[in-house]
Amino acid sequence: IAIQDGNEVARYMSPLHASDVGDVLEAISPADRFELINLLGELFDYSALTEIDDSVRLELMDLLPNNDIARGVQELDSDDAVYILEDIEGGDREEILAALPTFERLALKRSLDFPEETAGRRMQTEFIAIPPFWTVGQTIDYMREADDLPDDFHQIYVVDPSYNLLGTLALDRMLRAKRPAVIKDIMNSTIIEVEAEEDQEEAARMFERYDLVEVAVVDETRRLVGVLTVDDIVDVIQEEAGEDIKRLAGVGNEEISGNVWNAVRSRLTWLGVNLVTAIMASLVIGMFDATIQQMVALAVLMPIVASMGGNAGTQTMTVAVRALSTRELDSYNVRRLITREFLVGVVNGVVFALVIGVVAAIWFANPLLGLVIGAAMVINMIAAGISGIMIPLTLDKLKIDPAIASSAFVTTVTDVVGFMAFLYIAAHAFNLF
């Protein structure tokens, strides 16, 4: 880029795949990014912008003139264009849309009208729709002549005059059929479609379930309005899995390219919730301050009971949250799972009660203390198993995302039960009030 020669740069960049161009853009400084795109001019393929981090893209969008962006997105399939436009603020977005030809503008506007993370927002409005009475030969000839075909496609949609979906035809089926065969007779008439308003996660589940490569998107009157392709769905699955992981740890949908303030904000809520639950646990300890004063060993040992319970609860909760989000957990197996988690709590509780009981008895040369911590451990591990499964299930029933809120509740239960059981039993065993 130092050499400032557009042709030179273009020669290096043009054989690269859009993903690789995206990587180059991410690696260089913000000023160089803008420079590079300007140097490439019309040769710059805007699909590279769909491969870079949101924050980098937004920064670039601010720098680039709206007219250039309009020219760039016009070349893209509508799903990529929407992806780039959706994060641009109102005024700029209107200006870019206004600079587009009418047909493209209307298609993009319609997609942008659907809520974020729906099938309608992700769909591509370029697809091939043909009537059922055409023959294979006619269809092939049509495709050879037409010049507004989508960039890549894997199946053809068979529709009636009002664009209601009648069936689909995979390209490999068509290639295996003879030219005179009528589409109606060879098409797959088991209709799998998603509504445009549907959550993208639902659509992804359908792809997984039925091993799809493309699926039809229909509006509320069941008219075909677009298609969802598997490459977008792969991104959706990756995104949703990442969201689950981050939500479980209480970080908002944070990206590593975000700045300090984004990161602080995305974590404050969860840390605030945790502070409240930690104070609740402290209140429980405070109830036993006289007990602790007479036997400091209790203060030394009590975090062990709480920590083990917290971990066991998190394990159960994670399995439950993941199973809920992949829909493996349903009414058929929920009762079995609750029983299992209860038993796991009992078994792990007894195992670790024995270990910590012996350790504590020897450490403080006090067998009764070993018994006390062992009993508290069993109680807390069972509480952990039960709350680890019941809390996500309850939240899910209440339509609250269990990935976000479960941790806070589960660790509150295990902290409170852990400290309470240990200190209460100890107070009674050693007569310390």
Residues within window 371-410 making contact with its own copies, judged by CB under 8 A = none
Rounded least distance, CB 137 to its own copies, Å:
11
Question: Cβ closer to its own copies: 22 or 72?
Answer: 22
Candidates 183, 322, 375, 422: give the one binding its own copies (CB under 8 A): 322
Half-sphere CA count of 153, side-chain side, radius 13 A: 23
For the chain, give the number of residues: 433
Instruction: Tell me if 380 sits within 8 A of 414, measured CB to CB.
Output: yes
Q: Which amino acid is at 291?
A: T
Can residue 61 be called a binding residue for its own copies (CB under 8 A)?
no
Segment lying near its own copies (by CB under 8 A), choices 91-99, 194-202, 218-226, 323-331: 323-331
Q: Considering only the stretches 1-9, 58-66, 147-155, 157-165, report the one whose residues sit in contact with its own copies under the rule CB under 8 A.
A: 147-155
CA distance 151 to 373: 66
Q: What is the largest CA-CA distance in the chain?
A: 95
171 binds its own copies (CB under 8 A): yes
How far is Cα 257 from Cα 222, in angstroms, rounded to an integer?
40
- Of 99-128, binders to its own copies (CB under 8 A) are none
Helix residue spans in 212-333 (DSSP H): 230-248, 260-287, 289-294, 297-325
Query: Is residue 53 a contact point for its own copies (CB under 8 A)?
Result: yes
Region 297-316 residues binding its own copies, contact defined as CB under 8 A? 297, 299-304, 306-308, 311-312, 314-315
Does 359 engage in binding with its own copies (CB under 8 A)? yes
> Which of 162, 332, 365, 433 is close enough to bind its own copies by CB under 8 A?
332
**Closer residue to its own copies (CB): 54 or 89:** 54
Count of residues near its own copies by CB under 8 A:
109
Instruction: Single out the residue of 90, 101, 180, 211 in contact with its own copies (rule: CB under 8 A).
Output: 211
> What is the number of other CB atoms lying within 10 angstroms of the CB of residue 413?
22
Q: Please, which residue, 10 or 334, has the CB nearer to its own copies?
A: 334
Q: Which listed residue (5, 54, 172, 202) binds its own copies by CB under 8 A?
A: 172
Structural contact between residues 394 and 320, judged by C-beta atoms closer than 8 angstroms: no
Strand 165-170 vs strand 155-159: parallel, antiparallel, or unpaired?
Answer: antiparallel
Contact partners, residue 45, CB within 8 Å, separation at least 6: 18, 21, 75
The binder of its own copies chosen from 40, 319, 391, 413 (CB under 8 A)? 319
Is 237 a residue that touches its own copies (CB under 8 A)?
A: yes
The reply on whether position 207 binds its own copies by CB under 8 A is yes
Number of neighbouring beta carbons within 10 Å of residue 117: 14
The smaller minimum CB distance to its own copies, of residues 120 and 349, is found at: 349
Which of these ranges, 4-12, 87-95, 114-122, 144-152, lies near its own copies under the rule CB under 8 A?
A: 144-152
| Straight-line distance from the first to the last Cα atom of the chain, in angstroms, rounded to the nearest whole number | 76
Q: Which of 343, 324, 325, 345 is nearest to 333 (CA)?
A: 324
